[in-house]
Structure 1
Amino acid sequence: MEGRLALFVVLILCVSAIPVQSNGGKGFPVLGKEKMTHLHFYLNDILSGEKPSAVLVAQANKTYEGATPFGSVYVVDDPLTDGPGPNANVIGNAQGLYVSSGQDKLSLVLTMDFGFTTGEYEGSSITVFSRNPVTEKMRELSVVGGRGKFRLARGFAMLSTYYLNTTNGDAIIEYKVTILHY
């Protein structure tokens, strides 16, 4: 009889819904309704001069005789601006790295956090992880995350090269970004 009672109690505990007390969302962000946002900015990737924004930190041990810097890794802290010119306002920076991954065509794999330091999106960022076939006129990159106002972001960025100095590698890239976020 005692064994049956114990089994009955165990079965009741297993199938019962045990109420969990909530703190009413305090301390946790409330996501709200999903939004769509369009961003337009310019990334200034500077490899030349005394204070470059992108630096080579690793390259292949073997001498590579191709048309691209295949196997090279760059770390970046590139300014983001609201326009392409020298008088454009800095609105944030892109930090991360890119790897030259194309053997026959210049292609990069990017992993970068685009952080905004002014305006409506100050303190927020989007994260890109994607392949960038640099020689194509228009490229599409994946937006895979975000923080702040771009929490749980997903979407895409359309890129085009606004300026490229083929001698020193300096470039200005136009970004048109569409993201879904909370």
Structure 2
Amino acid sequence: MGKRIGIVGFSLYLCITFALGEYYSKTRPFTPKQEVVTKLHFFFHDTLTSPNASAVLIAKPTLTGGDNSSSPSPFGSLFAVDDPLTVGPDPKSEKIGNARGMYVSSGKHAPTLTMYIDFGFTSGKFNGSSFSVFSRNTIMEKEREAAVVGGRGRFRMARGAALLNTYSVNLTNGDAIVEYHVTLYHY
């Protein structure tokens, strides 16, 4: 019984000490960082065919006709991507980064992708920085827009929009080159 009273007493002592204790800190006035606007222009190379595929099918539907479809990305298909980003439309032009993530074919009647992709830069002044897109991509429209939902490195807390313009596409195998014009607002 004595041990129990001792433990309860010590616990009560700690609680009172913390409750009556004061917290000291230095208060500084808030100075918001200046928002920065960055405009980027690059090309995204999505290759679905072997031997150099940069987008691979990781799951396909069995109930939606995915097995019988002639499309390279039938409704319900899930792809993992590691697509190169270059300064020009030629796949051999200077590589500046990778687009890594996934997309799912989410259009039942019109070819549409829902994509989550992190655009990471591996050279230049944005080396080590990235921004993320989570948006619908209506791939049969020549021009479309995707939402930028975040970033890291120099693009910390990024928001904005990516304007996508199909540069070229091979409908037989699904390979595409997409031009990106991105406007980022970040701190």
TM-score norm. by structure 1 comes to: 0.82
Q: What amino acid is the match of 1:49?
A: S
- Aligned in 2, Cα 1:31/1:40: closer, same or farther, shift over 3 Å? farther
Matched, 1:59 2:60: yes
Shift of 1:48: 1.0
What percent of counterpart residues are identical?
51
What is the CA–CA distance in structure 2 between the aligned matches of 1:59 and 1:107, rounded to whole Å?
Answer: 15
Partner of 1:154: 159
63, 70, 77: which one pairs with 2:75? 70
Partner of 1:49: 50
Structure 1 residues 96-125: Cα deviation after superposition (integer angstroms, max 9, x where no partner)? 000000011100000010000000100000
Partner of 1:126: 131
Matched, 1:35 2:36: yes
TM-score norm. by structure 2 comes to: 0.80
- Aligned in 2, Cα 1:120/1:31: closer, same or farther, shift over 3 Å? farther
- Aligned in 2, Cα 1:32/1:75: closer, same or farther, shift over 3 Å? same
- Secondary structure of 2:48's counterpart equals coil
- Secondary structure of 2:154's counterpart equals helix
101, 116, 126: which one pairs with 2:121? 116
Structure 1 residues 39-87: Cα deviation after superposition (integer angstroms, max 9, x where no partner)? 0000000111212000000011225167761000000000000000143
- Secondary structure of 1:40's counterpart equals strand
Alignment of 1:76-115 (within 5 A): 76-115=81-120
Partner of 1:145: 150
Q: Which runs of 5+ in 2 are unaligned?
A: 1-15
Is contact 2:79-2:103 (8 Å) kept? Answer: yes
Shift of 1:17: 8.0
Which one is further off, 144-153 or 60-69?
60-69
Is contact 2:45-2:91 (8 Å) kept? Answer: no
Following TM superposition, the consecutive aligned residue runs of length 4 or more in structure 1 with deviations greater than 6 angstroms are 65-68
What is the CA–CA distance in structure 2 between the aligned matches of 1:80 and 1:181, rounded to whole Å?
Answer: 21
What is the CA–CA distance in structure 2 between the aligned matches of 1:134 and 1:36, rounded to whole Å?
Answer: 27
Q: Please give the root-mean-square deviation of Cα atoms over the aligned residues, in Å.
A: 2.4
What is the CA–CA distance in structure 1 between the aligned matches of 2:131 and 2:24, rounded to whole Å?
Answer: 37
Question: How many residue pairs were aligned?
Answer: 164
Task: Name which one, 1 or 2, has greater alpha-carbon Rg.
Answer: 2
What is the CA–CA distance in structure 1 between the aligned matches of 2:40 and 2:98, rounded to whole Å?
Answer: 14
Is contact 2:80-2:103 (8 Å) kept? Answer: yes
Partner of 2:175: 170
- Secondary structure of 1:19's counterpart equals coil
Is contact 2:83-2:99 (8 Å) kept? Answer: yes
What is the CA–CA distance in structure 2 between the aligned matches of 1:155 and 1:140, rounded to whole Å?
Answer: 10
